Homo-oligomer: A and B are copies of this chain.
């Protein structure tokens, strides 16, 4: 296969939606590789490299699984593997609700600790609920993409330490990699993300960090998942450094290249860059509009802005896209669609690229 000119669209729409986010050109092009056997030493080398690099980047001593699927697969398997009967699901928006829906679909007894959209889960409420009833697990979203809330995971984790039999299962899909968390320090048993968010990779892979307690729970469970199964995947990795099923080789090659970049930047520096973008966006929002979510719990990767100027968001969005080739999101779901809008400042975005977007919005809205 001789090198040759490959067609790549010159012009493209820059993504400021809360994922998929922008993927760097060289990461997309890294996928220009022939296939190889998934039981070969080339695969072992690739898979152990991306797994160990991910542990290093996240600074965790726990198990890491990289699976060919969306993060949703881990929402499901973590419940299948860790919950026998009762699970408490905190819900504060669409994606935390999805966790509860999945647990119900799996036939588990689900209690919801429900919050109004735009508000955060409070540690004292979690404690109260866990004191009332025994649960196999408690689920919480780190970053509620639909509302732009960042839940106080660290404080909730301190509560969870008092309930060691209740697994703490965390959906960090739009946050991990762009919002620093010390995974091993806060009683988190399972935490997972999708790579098309703050990792800034092409979608199709999910990453799950599993501590020893959750691994043991999964291993000894009377029933559980196979494809996204926690112990199933961890055991195969331990034994062979590979995946139980054929993985998405091309995406893992892209992962390797992007994770090297992430390691160079570092977890904390990457988080700081995201905070800088978030603070700029919040300042801009407060000057021209208002922030939608409860103060003190603003997401570091996606800002949800209240449409206080009563702009026609869908029109604005399309006009900015047309004139500037930049795409931001309207609010999530019917209720928030026009009442809010969302700017995803994650992955490889910079203060400059976010400023270019807010300039574009100002121009089109005539602000």
Binding site for B on A (CB under 8 A): 1-10, 12-13, 15, 17, 19-23, 25, 28-29, 31-38, 68-73, 75-76, 101-102, 105-107, 194, 196, 202-205, 222-229, 232, 244-251, 327
* Minimum Cβ distance to chain B for residue A84 (Å): 10
Residue of B nearest to A40 (CB): B327
B9–A227 touching, CB < 8 Å? no
If A23-B35, A31-B31 are given as contacts, then 4 extra A-B residue pairs at C-beta distance below 8 Å, sorted by A number, are A2-B8, A23-B34, A107-B223, A204-B250
A9–B1 touching, CB < 8 Å? yes
B248–A204 touching, CB < 8 Å? yes
Provide the residues of chain B in CB contact with A228, threshold 8 Å.
73, 227
* Minimum Cβ distance to chain B for residue A335 (Å): 17
A202–B6 touching, CB < 8 Å? no
Residue of B nearest to A72 (CB): B245
Q: How far is the CA of A202 from the CA of B202 in the complex (A)?
A: 14
Q: How far is the CA of A25 from the CA of B105 in the complex (A)?
A: 42
Provide the residues of chain B in CB contact with A101, threshold 8 Å.
226
11 A-B pairs (CB sep. < 8 Å): A5-B5, A6-B32, A8-B32, A15-B35, A19-B246, A20-B35, A68-B68, A70-B246, A70-B247, A250-B250, A250-B251
Residue of B nearest to A20 (CB): B35
Q: How far is the CA of A250 from the CA of B31 in the complex (A)?
A: 9
Cβ 8 A contact of A20, one of B25, B204, B249, B251: B249
B327–A37 touching, CB < 8 Å? yes
Residue of B nearest to A197 (CB): B246
A9–B33 touching, CB < 8 Å? yes
A10–B15 touching, CB < 8 Å? no
A246–B203 touching, CB < 8 Å? yes
Q: How far is the CA of A101 from the CA of B224 in the complex (A)?
A: 11
Closest A-B pairs by Cβ, 5 of them: A204-B248, A107-B223, A70-B245, A12-B34, A72-B245
